[in-house]
Amino acid sequence: MGPPLFAAAFLGAVYGLPLVRIAKNRLVVGEPVYALDGLGALPGFGPEIEAVAGLVLGAVLLARIGRTRIGVGAATVLLALALALLMLALGSTAGDLLAGEPPAARAGLASGAWTALLLLAGGLAHLARRMAVPGLGGALAAAFLGFVALAGSTGTLGSLSLAIEFAARKDAVGEALVRHLLLSGSAVLLAVGGAVLLSLWRRGQGLVEVLVGGIQVVPAVALLGALVAVASGLLRAVPALREAGLGALGPVPAVIGIAAYLLLPLWRGLALALAAPDPATLDAAEALGLPPRTILFQVRLPIGAGILLGALRVACVQGIGLATLGALVGAGGLGGIVFDGMAQFAPDLILLGAIPIVALSLVVERTLSLAEDRWRGTPA
């Protein structure tokens, strides 16, 4: 997306779409509120929004005509200021709209606000890449999270419905986040072990490929349901397992089901990594009298480490997403918040669970991508 198109999309989102919706309670959609409603009579929807638009236009102009790092850096600063000012404007306007309303009333972000925020975040990511400063993207993300935390602690964003949902479930969200990480992390570790064992069965690699590939075509919900049924039958046949604390519902079937889906990328990545060294390198290692174990750990794995990191990146991101479905079999995690919101028809509660999942996926993907690029010796 070029700078002119970016500016047009942003202005269209801010001035053409509703920024906030005011509702009588958390379960109804509510009435839309636009930036031009009242022609600036509402605090936050007057000078502040115009200032945000001006900052964005200035950033677009600098990004278009400024080819130097200074010009791109100045554009980055302007977009960051626009993002912060937009958040403050939305928070203050939500508070003013709720003044005099009953306690159950909610002011939630509408399509225009979400679109504008996503455009600003994408623009900052693009400019950070153009700056080519190591760690700049992560620093900007950390600064934004710190700003949101500071604004939330001062109550500036406290009137937004998403902030109200978070305040009511702060402890539950923290527990769900930890459980989600445990579910996905355990599944990745189990899948790594399974991929290593499957790779050792050299004569059956064709059958292994059919099995791990066939799992991918099975719907995740169906696989989890089948695992619950199998676990129930196993517990009836072996009551000692139930006495040991195992159950048909909970984290066990969820971890096994998630790990089954992660076998394919890890198994393929391991196979490609072991085959990465060229035959001449392996012949030279054997000519030096190196034993197979030494060749594996000092030749094959170091050369194929970049491929392994790529496979691990795919598996980790996939595991974080699939762990959401673990809530369907009683495993908990952030998926529980998402499905609670769906059951209650509460969009903000759905977002309260979905946003951390997306954030975790992005952080893990970016972290492992940087590690992969560094190992391969390519610029991040």
Which letter, b or e, does each residue of 23-55 get, where b requires 16 or more Cβ atoms within 10 Å of its Cβ? beebeeebeebbbeeeeeebebbbebbeebbeb
- Domain end call among 117, 143, 168: 168
Q: What token pair was written down for 237?
A: 């046949």
* CA–CA distance, 170 with 134 (Å, rounded to integer): 33
Q: For the segment 264-296, what is each residue's pLDDT rounded down to a tens digit?
A: 999 999 999 888 888 888 878 888 888 888 888
Residue 329: give its domain's CATH number: 1.10.3720.10
- Average pLDDT, stretch 318-341? 93
In whole numbers, what is the pLDDT of the chain averaged over residues? Answer: 87
- Average pLDDT, stretch 345-361? 92
Same-domain pairing of 176 and 158: no
- Reported as a pLDDT band with limits 50, 70 and 90, residue 194 is very high
Non-local (6+) Cβ contacts of 343 within 8 A are none
One-letter amino acid identity for 379? P
The CA angle 70-2-63, to the nearest 5 degrees, is 15
Same-domain pairing of 182 and 33: no
Q: Give SS3 for 33.
A: strand
**Residue 380 pLDDT > 60, yes or no?**
no
* 10-14, 25-29, 179-183: least confidently modelled range: 25-29
Q: Is 212 exposed, middle or buried (0-12, 13-18, 19+ CB in 10 A)?
A: buried
Q: What local confidence, expressed as pLDDT, does residue 1 receive? A: 65
Same-domain pairing of 350 and 265: yes
- Average pLDDT, stretch 199-217? 88
* CA–CA distance, 250 with 242 (Å, rounded to integer): 12
Same-domain pairing of 242 and 151: no
Tell me how far apart the 2 most distant CA atoms of the chain are, in Å.
Answer: 84
**Residue 300 pLDDT > 90, yes or no?**
no
Non-local (6+) Cβ contacts of 83 within 8 A are 117, 120, 121, 124, 144
Distances (CA, A) of 380 to 125, 132, 366: 13, 8, 10
Same-domain pairing of 271 and 366: yes
Same-domain pairing of 127 and 184: no
Q: What local confidence, expressed as pLDDT, does residue 45 receive? A: 66
0.75 surpassed by pTM = yes
In the chain, DSSP assigns E strands to: 20-23, 31-33, 106-109
Same-domain pairing of 153 and 54: yes
Matching residue, tokens 């980790």: 316
Matching residue, tokens 């996926």: 361
**Residue 61 pLDDT > 80, yes or no?**
yes
Best CA proximity match to 178, nearest among 356, 36, 4: 356
Best CA proximity match to 140, nearest among 122, 154, 155, 156: 122
Q: For the segment 121-159, what is each residue's pLDDT rounded down to a tens digit?
A: 999 988 888 887 877 888 888 888 898 888 888 888 888
Same-domain pairing of 18 and 134: yes
Q: Report phi then psi at 247, rounded to 5.
A: -140, 160
**Residue 378 pLDDT > 80, yes or no?**
no
- Domain end call among 168, 200, 232: 168
Same-domain pairing of 148 and 183: no
- Domain end call among 148, 168, 188: 168
Q: Which domain holds residue 261?
A: 170-376
Question: Could you tell me if 68 and 59 are in contact, meaning their C-beta atoms sit under 8 angstroms apart?
Answer: no
- Reported as a pLDDT band with limits 50, 70 and 90, residue 241 is confident
* CA–CA distance, 161 with 179 (Å, rounded to integer): 25
Q: What local confidence, expressed as pLDDT, does residue 151 receive? A: 86
Q: What local confidence, expressed as pLDDT, does residue 43 receive? A: 47
Same-domain pairing of 142 and 256: no
Non-local (6+) Cβ contacts of 69 within 8 A are 131
* CA–CA distance, 287 with 285 (Å, rounded to integer): 5
**Residue 13 pLDDT > 50, yes or no?**
yes
Q: For the segment 15-52, what is each residue's pLDDT rounded down to a tens digit?
A: 999 999 888 887 777 888 888 875 445 545 668 888 99
The backbone region for 237, taken as left when phi is positive above 0, alpha when psi lies in -120 to 50, beta otherwise, is alpha
Q: Is 86 exposed, middle or buried (0-12, 13-18, 19+ CB in 10 A)?
A: buried
Same-domain pairing of 299 and 316: yes
- Average pLDDT, stretch 54-59? 91
Provide the number of structural domains found in the chain: 2
Same-domain pairing of 73 and 177: no
